[in-house]
Amino acid sequence: MNSSAEQQEAGWKTAPDDASRLIAQLERRLEERTAELRTLRTEKDTFAHTIAHDLRGPLMHIGGFADLLLEHAGAKLDEKGRHYLRTIITSADQLGRMLSDILALSRLSRAEIHPMPIDLEMLVRKIVQEFESSRANRRVNWQIGNLPEVQADPTLLRQAITHLVTNAFKFTQNRDVARIQIGAERGVHGTTFSVRDNGVGFDMRHSERLFGVFQRLHPSSVFAGNGMGLAWVRRIIERHGGRTWAEGVPDEGAIFYFSLPDGGSEFHEANLSG
């Protein structure tokens, strides 16, 4: 009995040590995996920046010389020939804008973040006011909740929210009255921000595609844009240590979310990682 009791007591003493060793191993593996992901992200952004930068020169030549050819010999060509040249020029301009967007997105990954306290409600109301003043021909029912103070880079956060509001505004353009609801909730670990609309919505099977670069679920002939806005939102929020996601129902509307941590080590780690 004594021997059994001693063994049991020894087991109780070693259990916390075993748990501590296991936790330490898991933390090391998490750190290693995080470092690997940072390296992959950096390599991907560097590759994208290099490719986009190197392609701009040849593309400018294609568009520029096609434009000169149209001016120089356009009168000698039939309408089909002039159409071909105009198509080349238009496509070169479009690709040039896409390359510029890729360069801007890659620079965002390396930009320094300067977090500070932000009155989220004041920021949102300023953004909405700009939409109201510049798009007076639209009927929009804005609903803005009580929004808390958050810790973030003011320039980048403004860009992220503007992209989400632009997205909601665009995909409600066919509604007689657009309804755009902006809210936020404080949680244990941070703030969840949301933009809800009554627009065209989307199929949830394609939800992750929404935040990809140049990913579109609707043709550009119906809804203008280059498919970069939500990619910007995701990259900005990732830099702040948060995450992005969306919910939608076809022809019933969509809700786009992002979360922001309260700050501290999680924010600092995200800022350092880029």
Q: Using H for helix, E for strand and C for coil, what is the string for 161-196? A: HHHHHHHHHHCCCCCCCEEEEEEEEECCCEEEEEEE
Distance of CA 62 to the CA centre of its chain: 31
Nearest to 116 by CA among 238, 232, 237, 240: 240
What is the pLDDT confidence band of residue 43, given thresholds at 50, 70 and 90? low
Strands 140-144 and 178-186: what pairing? parallel
Looking at residue 134, what is its pLDDT?
Answer: 72
Supply the angle between the helices 265-273 and 2-73 in degrees, to the nearest 10: 40
Looking up tokens 């002939």 gives: 221
265 or 209, greater pLDDT: 209
179 or 45, greater pLDDT: 179
158 and 211 inside one domain: yes
Contacts of residue 273, defined as CB under 8 A and 6 or more positions apart, other chains included, come to 34, 38, 41
Within 13 Å of residue 99, how many CA atoms lie on the same side as its CB? 17
Looking at residue 148, what is its pLDDT?
Answer: 92
What is the CATH number for 250? 3.30.565.10
152 and 241 inside one domain: yes
User: How confident is the model over 210-238, as pLDDT tens digits?
Assistant: 887 666 666 555 556 566 788 889 989 98
Cα distance between residue 127 and residue 223, in whole Å: 21
By 3-state DSSP, what share of the chain in percent is helix, strand and coil, each rounded to 5? 60, 15, 25
121 and 226 inside one domain: yes
Quick check: 254 and 223 in contact, CB under 8 A?
no
Looking at residue 11, what is its pLDDT?
Answer: 53
| Number of domains, the chain | 2
Looking at residue 164, what is its pLDDT?
Answer: 94
175 and 265 inside one domain: yes
Domain boundary among 61, 93, 110: 110
- Residue 114, classified by CB atoms within 10 Å of its CB into exposed (0-12), middle (13-18) or buried (19+), is exposed
* Apex 243 CA angle, 238 and 249, nearest 5: 135
Mean pLDDT, the chain, rounded, equals 79
- Range from 86-90, 111-115, 227-231 carrying the lowest mean pLDDT: 227-231
What is the CATH number for 55? 1.10.287.130
Domain boundary among 93, 110, 127: 110
Looking at residue 15, what is its pLDDT?
Answer: 59
Cα distance between residue 255 and residue 193, in whole Å: 10
125 and 214 inside one domain: yes
- Residue 261, classified by CB atoms within 10 Å of its CB into exposed (0-12), middle (13-18) or buried (19+), is buried
139 and 263 inside one domain: yes
User: How confident is the model over 148-201, as pLDDT tens digits?
Assistant: 999 999 999 999 999 999 899 888 988 999 999 999 998 887 899 999 999 988
Q: Region 7-15: what's the mean pLDDT? A: 55
Looking at residue 52, what is its pLDDT?
Answer: 64
Cα distance between residue 212 and residue 11, in whole Å: 51
pLDDT(108) > 90: no
41 and 20 inside one domain: yes
Looking at residue 39, what is its pLDDT?
Answer: 60
244 and 169 inside one domain: yes
Quick check: 197 and 171 in contact, CB under 8 A?
yes
Cα distance between residue 15 and residue 62, in whole Å: 70
Looking at residue 266, what is its pLDDT?
Answer: 45
125 and 258 inside one domain: yes
Domain boundary among 110, 136, 162: 110
Which helix (H) or strand (E) covers residue 82, if one does?
A: helix 79-110
Domain that holds residue 84: 1-110
Which helix (H) or strand (E) covers residue 136, if one does?
A: none
Q: Region 116-143: what's the mean pLDDT? A: 88
Looking at residue 106, what is its pLDDT?
Answer: 72
124 and 202 inside one domain: yes
pLDDT(28) > 70: yes
260 and 146 inside one domain: yes
Q: Region 237-250: what's the mean pLDDT? A: 91
User: How confident is the model over 46-68, as pLDDT tens digits?
Assistant: 666 567 667 778 878 888 888 88
Percent of the chain with pLDDT over 70: 75
| Helix, strand, or coil (residue 259) | strand
132 and 236 inside one domain: yes
